[in-house]
Structure 1
C-alpha cells in the first residue's frame, strides 16, 4: 500500500512540474507565446494590434524592439503628454512581465548574441559591470544620420543614410546602403540600386539573417498613402529583384514603417500611424504597434 501511495505522489509531482515548465522560460529562451509576447494571441495573415493596452493606450507609440532573449522590450512614445520623445523598457522578471519604466537606452538594436547594442552610428558592449559607454562605429557609419541599422548573420550591415542638413526637409530622399565586414573592418558603404532606392523617405531597412530579402519603408507613387512597407528578394547572383509593395493587408492610407521580423522568425512587426494637426497648427503623431504572421513574406517570395 505504501508503494502505491508513493507512486501516486510521484506521478502528481511530475505532472505539476510539467505544467509549470510550460509557463516558464527555459534558459535564456522563452518556450511559450504567453511569456514571449505579453500573452497576446498570435496573429494570422491579417495584421492585428500588438499589446495595445500595454504599449499604445493613447496611440502615441513610435517603435519598439525585444532584446535577443525576449526578456526586455524597449519602445518609445512621443507627442501628447510626452512633450519630448520618451524611452521605456518592460522586463520579464520573477515569472511575469513588470510595469514599464523609463530607460536611458535609446533606440537600442542588439547584436544576435545580445552582447553589443547599437544606436545610430554608435555602439556599446556588455561587460561584467554592465554596458560600456557609447563608442563610434567609425567609417562608413559616422557621417550620416542613421535611423535604421540591420545586420545579417555574417555581420553585413544594411543602413539608411540621411545627411543632417536634409533631415528637416519634407522631400528628403534618403538611401539604403550596405557594408561588408572584411578582415575585421567594414568596407566603404555601397549604395543599393534603384530597385531599392526609389521614392522619398527611404528608411528603416531590415535584412533577413541570410540576406535573402530586404524590407524597408518608403513613400512611392504606387503606394497606398503615406509611407508603405516594401520588400525585395535577392537572387542567387547577388542582384536584387524590383521592389514589391508588401500588400494592402499591411499597407493602408496611413503610414506604415519600422518593419522587422522577430528573432524567432515567426512574426513581422511594424508601426502604423499618422500625423494629426492640432488646433494650434502643430502636428501630433498617433501610432500603434501591429504584428502579422511572417508567412506573408514567404507568400511573396518568388517560386
Structure 2
C-alpha cells in the first residue's frame, strides 16, 4: 500500500510515464470494473462492478482505515437495478449515479436516468435514491454525472439537439433548482461521439471520451480541455498514447490535489500467438493475467499546463 499512498502525495508537471493499473489487488477476482470516484480525504472509493457481458452492474465502495483499504462492498442503495457511474460531489455529501430504475413505478426503465443519494455528514449512511428530475431526465439516455463546487451538473445525453450521437451537456444549479440543460460548445462536442466527462470542481478542466475523431487511436480516447481567460473551453486535445490505447479508454476522474488522472480501460496484452507452446495451466494463467480485456482502473500523473 506504500505505492498507493505515494501516488496521493506526489504531483508532476507532465505525463512522464505510461498509465498503469491502479491497485489491481483491490479488484482481484472481480469481473469488469469501471468508473472511479474518490472522496476528498481519500478515505472512500466508489466504483462500478459490471457483469461479463455488461448487462448488469452495481455500485460498490472501498473504505480506508489508516493506511489499509478494506474489501469492496455493495453500497446500501444498489444491488437490484442496473446502477453505474457513481460520482461524489466535492463536499462528499451527495453521490450521483446513473440507473435504469423508475421514478414512478417498480418497473425497469428502458433508458438510463441520473439519480443521487445524500447524507448529512461523511460518517452518515446514504439516503434512499432521489431522481434529479424531468428537467434533465427524459425518455432518452442521460448518464455519467459530474458535479462542480456550485452544484452544476455535467452529463452525457442523447437529446434531439445533440450535435453527434452523444454529447456532453450542463445543467446549472441555481437557487437549489436545475436549469434546462445546454450542450457544451464545439470545442468539446462534435459530430462524433462525446461522452463520460469529468469536470473539475472549479470548472476549469474537462476530460472526456470521444470516439471517431481523426486522431482517435482506437475504440475511444480520452481528451482534455481547459478554459481560457474569458471562461471559454479551448479546443480539446487527445491525451496521447501514454494514456490512450487501441481499446476503449473512458470514465475519467481527477484527484485534483494529487494531480492524478484515473480512468477505465479494457485494453489487453494477451497476444494472438504465444511465444512458445504452453500447457493448460500456463495458458489459463496467461489469459487471466491483467490487462486481458476486462475493464480495469488505470492511473497516471496529470499535466498541470
Could you list the per-position Cα deviations for residues 205-228 of structure 1 after superposition, in whole angstroms to 9, with x for gaps in the alignment?
A: 111222222110010232111100
Within 2, Cα distance between the matches of 1:82 and 1:198?
A: 27
- Aligned partners of 2:221 and 2:189: how far apart in 1? 14
Q: Does 1:257 align with 2:235?
A: no
Partner of 1:17: none
Q: TM-score, normalised by structure 2?
A: 0.70
Q: Which secondary structure does the structure 1 equivalent of 2:26 belong to?
A: helix
Q: CA deviation at 1:274?
A: 5.2
Across the aligned residues of Structure 1 and Structure 2, the Cα RMSD in angstroms comes to 3.5
Comparing 219-228 and 263-272, the one that deviates more: 263-272
Question: Secondary structure of 2:25's match?
Answer: helix
What is the CA–CA distance in structure 1 between the aligned matches of 2:120 and 2:231, rounded to whole Å? 37
CA contact (8 A) 1:68 1:263 kept: no
Q: CA deviation at 1:290?
A: 0.8
Which stretch has the larger CA shift, 67-76 or 263-272? 67-76
Q: Identify the residue that residue 153 of structure 2 maps to in structure 1.
A: 157
Deviates more, 1:76-85 or 1:49-58: 76-85
What's 2:299 paired with? Answer: 291
Deviations 1:51-105 (A, max 9, x none): 1232255673222322333222222233449874244322223652222233344
- Runs of 4 or more off by more than 6 Å in structure 1? 36-39
> Which residue of structure 2 lines up, in the alignment, with residue 113 of structure 1?
91
Contact 1:235/1:241 (8 A) holds in 2:
yes
State whether residues 155 and 170 of structure 2, in contact with CA within 8 Å, keep that contact through their aligned partners in structure 1: yes
Partner of 1:201: 193
Cα distance 1:202–1:34, how it changes in 2: closer, same or farther (>3 A)?
closer
CA displacement at 1:241 relative to structure 2: 1.8
Q: Which residue of 1 aligns with 2:48?
A: 76
Q: Name the residue aligned to 2:282.
A: none
Counterpart CA distance in 2 for 1:58 and 1:203 is: 25
Q: 1:62 aligns with which of 34, 55, 58?
A: 34
Residues 130, 210 of structure 1: alpha-carbon distance in 2 compared, 3 angstrom cutoff: closer
1:108 is paired with a residue whose SS is strand
Alpha-carbon deviation of 1:244? Answer: 0.9
Query: 2:205 is matched with which residue: 210, 213, 216?
Result: 213
Checking the alignment, whether the CA contact within 8 Å between 1:254 and 1:272 is kept in structure 2 is: yes
Larger displacement relative to structure 2 (256-265 or 124-133): 124-133
CA-to-aligned-CA distance 1:212-256 (integer Å, 9 cap, x gap) = 221100102321111000112212223222221111211121111
Secondary structure class of the residue paired with 2:300: strand
Give the distance between the partners of 2:237 and 2:64, measured in 1 at CA: 37
Q: How does 1:97-136 map to 2 (within 5 A)?
A: 97-103=69-75, 104-105=77-78, 106=83, 107-120=85-98, 121-127=114-120, 130-136=125-131
Higher helix share: 1
Deviations 1:106-128 (A, max 9, x none): 43321111111212322222148
Structural mapping, 1:31-50, within 5 Å: 44-50=16-22
Alpha-carbon distance in 2 for matches of 1:189, 1:286: 34
Distance 2:8 2:227 in 1: 34
Secondary structure of the 1:130 match is coil
* Unaligned runs of at least 5 residues, structure 2: 99-113, 271-291
Q: Which runs of 5+ in 1 are unaligned?
A: 1-22, 24-31, 167-171, 277-283
Which position in structure 1 is the counterpart of 2:281?
none
Q: CA deviation at 1:200?
A: 3.4
Structure 1 distance, partners of 2:182, 2:59, is: 32
